Structure formats: structure tokens, C-alpha cells
Chains A and B, each alone.
Chain A
Amino acid sequence: MLDYIKLYLDFSKIKLKTQIESRLSFFILIICKIVGFGATGIMLWVMVDKFDFIGEWNPYEILLLFSFNMITYAIAGCFFYDFFVQLPKRIRTGELDEVLIKPLNPTTYLICRGVSAGYLGNVTVGLIAFFISVANLHIIFSLKDILMLILLIFGSSLIQCSVFSFSYTPSFWLISNNGVRNIIGDLKSFSDYPIAIYNKVIQFLLTFMFPFGFISFYPSQYFLNKSDGAFFNTSFPILTILVGLTLAFAGYKFWIFGLSHYQSTGN
């Protein structure tokens, strides 16, 4: 474990060194980050200021939902964004060969190579949104609530991680993976809003088939004392952790299964 942390630090140093070396692209990167955060901030502000109730949810409650989604996506992206987004290219070019001949676990090695501190910014924006919403909704956290919050963020982040795996691992078999990625992406974007507003069929899909409801909707319900939604059950917030663990395990197995079907490329 310690070795991997050291390796991660090494890769981070390399990344930073490379980025600073080409000054222009480094500054452009920083400007992009600032603009990106600015845009997200404005969007959140518009949401709170201009939106009315969506279903039974007031704007600050939606902000909470939104921040949940954002924080957990950023946590997952921190480890798996580069890992999986680069995967189709690595498969096509045969670059993955290099990963398989290293004396390291391929999964941990790719995580180390791809960890991006850039996502810490997204986490921060998410946390700010979270606190604004909590303050305005006058939610008081007991010790148990804080514990729950940590567990729910953990579970939800695991679901986000598995989404990366399920979206990109099919590129071991498909030349163009965009279809799968788009379908999963579209389904997931349903969970940007309280899923109780949708038709029952969609609610069913988002709860039992593609459990994206557990990313932000059901966890938020716990803190907001809400019970809307066609399939609401008091055990759902707790279930988030179980769903997270199960999906993360399945996503990991799927990735390993894909890796075993890696065909490499000719010379």
C-alpha cells in the first residue's frame, strides 16, 4: 500500500512537471478550471434563485441533491476518470500491453497513473453547495447523521465508480464504445433531479435495474425526511451502501473480465 502511495506521488510529480514545462498549456489549464468552476457556480445560483419547486422539492433541497451527485462523482473521477476514459485508446493502440508487463496490480497501477488532483476542486465546489443548502434548510446533524453522511457518500461514490467501469469496459469488445457510454450517461442524467417526478416505469428502472436513484435521490431523502417516490422504503438510504458495494464489486469483476479478453494489437 505504502509503495503505491509513493508511486502515486511520483506520477503526480511527473504530471505537474510536464504541465509546468509547457507554460502556455499550464495557464490555459488553470483558466479552464476557473471558468469551469465559475460556470458551475452560476448554474447552481440560477437554480436556487430562479427555480421553483420540482415535485415536492424546493430549490435548496435540489441543491443538496445536486451537491451529493457532484461530490461523489468528483471522488470517483479522482481515481477512475483518466483510468477509464483513456481505456478505449489504450486498447486500440495496444498501449495496455505495457500495463500487463509491470510488476504491479494493473488496477492499482492505472489508478496511480491517472489520479488527478484537479477533481479536488470539484469536491470543494460540491461541498460549498452542500453547506449552503444545509444552512438554508436548517438541517441539524446529530452524530449519527454525520456518520450516515460519510457512509452514504462512500456508498454513492462506489456507484459512481462502477458507472465508469460499466461505461468503458465494453471497449474491450466494441470498436466504438460511444453507444454504451451514452445510454448509461443518459440514464444517469435522470438522477440529476428528484426521481419521484418521473413516470413509475422510469422510477422502477432507476431503483431496481439501473440503481442511479441511490446516487443522490435516496441518500438526500434521509437528510430531508422525505418519503416521496413510488417505491420508497425506509431502508433505502442504508441500502445505498450495500448497492454501492455490490456495484463496485461487479464493476471491478467486469473490468477484470474485460482485461482477460484483451487481444492486444499486431506489429
Chain B
Amino acid sequence: MDFWAESLSKHWELGGITMPLIEVRDLCKTYEIQKRKDGFKNTLLSLFKREYVKKEAVKDISFTIGKGELVGYIGANGAGKSTTIKMLSGILIPTSGSVIVNGMVPYKNRKEYSMKIGIVFGQRSQLNWDLPMEDTFQLYKRIYKISDEMFKRNVAFYTELLDMSDFIKTPIRQLSLGQKMKANLAIAMLHEPEILYLDEPTIGLDVISKDRMRKFIKEINKEKSTTVILTTHDMNDIEEICNRIILIDKGKLLFDGEKEKFKQFKPVNTEVTFEFATDVNLEKSERYNIIRDHPLLKTISFNKQQTRLVDVITEITQKYDVKDMSIKDNTIEEIVKAIQ
């Protein structure tokens, strides 16, 4: 019974048949990149004859996403995350395969489709630099044909939720990175899209801003049951926002499932960096390996499944005079290794 209730809430209905909101099938995107060779002679030759290398940015990816899901779309740098998001949002045309969202093909029904989606690119702002937020809201009200009632409600709601009231009259170029990010989010959500695509939304932000962003994303998912798909590098984003993870590596799908299941994949090795007060000669132990060895700064690595972190730290701090230390968090790269 619970199972049915859950699956029904995740899917929307179309003529009695439940269908996923986003359906991606065998999606591929290949770029042709010109092969470059060194030397002036080769550069001249390339005027006449060029060789192209095919780079498969996205390779046979299939998944479905239901309404109201919070999906973390993750992978290492260059894994094909942004390319997928750009195909989902209709900016790029797939080389092969299909994306169907709400019965629409994103790049074919751009006009209609963009009313249903909101997009935020972490490293690129879609705002006019010279305008303050206040005027930008007005402009987007016109572009998205938002009713007065909805406009007032959302501006008030987002200003409050993102704590924007003190910079709403400042031209955007004078805002901090965190404030710009908030502004971009509010603009993307102004027309209450069904789906929100976020490409690295927390990149470069401080802890407080990150926290604010995460709260906002969770809140709008709860309030407006917006489906959110975000790409990220930050494991904390995944931990705090997502309820489902899709992991890709080198353009291929590696894992697709619930967050709890994803968390079982613990990275094999953990790295700890110690800073010593005096120059020490750290001996190799059966518990750990030394991977970086500087006079005052040493990084060790150990197998997490066999050795407890506490034991390693105790051992070293008892023997040597440790000034400081840092533990490298589970990175996506390490988890990718663990899954493979």
C-alpha cells in the first residue's frame, strides 16, 4: 500500500497512465574536437587537412525522474554533467537518444518548455549587470507573463526566504557572489517552474550562503513540489538536499538510486594531513601509508574499512607533536573509485 502511494505521488498522470516527469533514453552527445599538433608546420598543414577527434561527452544515459524528486546529478570534472543538464534544458541538441519532459522535447518546444523550467548556472549569471534586483523582477514578470498576484506573492516569499531585502535596490554588478547566486535563484523560480535545474549552485560560496541555498531548495521543493535536479561537487549538498543520486563517470551512468543506498559506497581510502610543530621523521606503520612527505607537513592514507580513523590519529598524536590536521572529506572522485 505504501509503495503505491509513494509511486503515485512521484508520477504525474496522463490519461490514466502514470508517466514520469522526465524521461531520458539512450542519451548521447558527441563533440568533434579538432586534433591539434605541435609545431608551426603542422599548424600550417591543418589549414588544408584537419583531423577530428570524437569526444563522447555523454554516452547512452537513461533514467526517469518523477515529480517532486530532489536529484543529485554528480560526477567528477568533465564527466558530462553540464552537457546533460544543457540537453535536459533544451540548450543543446542530443546527438542521439531522446529527452522527453512532460510530453515535450526540450529543444523543439523551447518556448513552451521554458515556461515550465528554471535554470541556474553556478558560474554564469543570466542577469543584467546594471539593473538592481527590483527592476530585474519586473523585467522577468514581463518575459514570463507572470500575473500580478503571483508576482507579488513570489517576490515577497523569495525575498524573505533568501534574505534579500537589504540588497534588492543595489545594481547586480555590485553584489557579492553569494548575493548574485541568491538573485539568480529567485529569478529562476519567479514563474514557479515545475522543474529547477541547478548546475553547481553552491560553487565558490561561503558556508552561510551555501546553507541558505540548501534551505531554499528544500523549502521550494516542499512548498511548490518543484522537481530539482542539481549537479554538484560538494558532498554536503548531496547529504542535505538530495533524496536520489545519479552518478556518471566519463559520460556513462554508474549509479542511479536512493541516497541511502549511495551512502553504502564508502570511499576505500581516507587521507589525513598532519602539520607538525617540529621536523619529524614519521615512520611507516602497518595501519597507514605516507603519500606526501614534507618536513613539517605529511599526508597519510589508510583503508577505512580496516582501520579506524580514531586509532590512526591517536597513534600519531601520542608519538609526535601535532600542531594541526585536516581530514579529506569523501570526494566524488573517491566514491567513483569505490563503485568501480
Contact = CB atoms under 8 A, between A and B. Distances in A.
B142 A7 contact: yes
B53 to A, nearest CB: 15
B320 interface: no
B60 to A, nearest CB: 20
Interface in A15-35: 17-18, 21
Interface string A68-106: 000000000000000000000000011101101111111
A14 B111 contact: no
Interface residues of A, number: 27
A266 interface: yes
B115 interface: yes
Contact of A101 (B89, B130, B135): B89
A267 B91 contact: no
Interface string A135-148: 00000000000000
B142 A101 contact: no
Contacts of B90: 100-101
Contacts of A253: none
Interface in A126-185: none
Nearest to B130: A18
B124 A103 contact: no
Contacts of A98: 126
B119 to A, nearest CB: 5
Interface residues of B, number: 35
Nearest to A6: B142
* Chain A at the B interface: SS class: helix
A251 to B, nearest CB: 21
A3 B200 contact: no
B130 A263 contact: no
A225 interface: no
Given A10-B142, A267-B82, A101 B200 contact: no
A264 interface: yes
Given A263-B31, A264-B91, A97 B139 contact: no
B143 interface: yes
Nearest to B139: A10
B105 interface: no
Contacts of A14: 128, 130-131, 135, 139
B143 A266 contact: no
Which of the listed residues A7, A106, A264 has the most CB atoms from chain B within 10 Å of its own CB?
Answer: A264
Contacts of B83: 266
B280 interface: no
A266 B199 CA distance: 11
B200 A267 contact: yes
Nearest to B125: A98
A240 to B, nearest CB: 34
Nearest to A94: B124
A260 interface: yes
Which of the listed residues A3, A105, A267 has the most CB atoms from chain B within 10 Å of its own CB?
Answer: A267
A105 B111 contact: yes
Contacts of B122: 267
Interface in B72-117: 78, 82-83, 86, 89-93, 110-112, 114-115, 117
Which of the listed residues B82, B92, B143 has the most CB atoms from chain A within 10 Å of its own CB?
Answer: B143
6 contacts: A3-B142, A10-B138, A17-B130, A103-B143, A103-B144, A264-B91
Given A97-B86, A101-B114, 16 more contacts: A6-B142, A14-B128, A18-B131, A95-B124, A97-B121, A98-B126, A100-B110, A101-B89, A101-B90, A101-B110, A103-B143, A104-B143, A105-B111, A264-B91, A267-B121, A267-B199
Interface of A: 3, 6-7, 10-11, 14, 17-18, 21, 93-95, 97-98, 100-106, 260, 262-264, 266-267
